[in-house]
Amino acid sequence: MFKCPKGKYQDNEGALACKVCDKGKIQKNIGQSGCETCPPVTIPDPSKSSCLDCPKGTYSNSGNIECTQCNPGSIQNYTRQRTCDICPLGTYSDPS
């Protein structure tokens, strides 16, 4: 008998393999029967074992599934944000 690793779970007895957590969910412990949802404006890391903040220059209003780059003409100077701010008159954002 093996325990499911972090980022995976098994909710059925007698299973032959572990399941990967669904989009927007993680499992930070081993041997678990389910996954937990990442808080808003965070996303699962690639291993699905922890949640990461959406970085500066991005936002998330997609229910903790992905961080989106701010559009040209807008900016976000903080992590964990739901929107980007439009650049005020006399300013611009560098798309690079």
Radius of gyration of the chain (CA): 18
Helix (H, G, I), strand (E, B), or coil: what is residue 52? strand
Cβ-contact 23, 65 below 8 angstroms: yes
Express each pLDDT in 59-87 by its tens digit: 987 666 889 999 999 999 999 999 999 99
pLDDT tens across 11-29, in order?
Answer: 999 999 999 999 899 999 9
User: Closest Cα to residue 43, out of 27, 63, 69?
Assistant: 63
The pLDDT confidence band at residue 39, using thresholds 50, 70 and 90, is confident
Work out the average pLDDT over 30-57. 93
Cβ neighbours for 4, distance < 8 A, ≥ 6 positions apart: 10, 18, 19, 27, 30, 31, 32
Q: Which residue has the tokens 């699962």?
A: 44
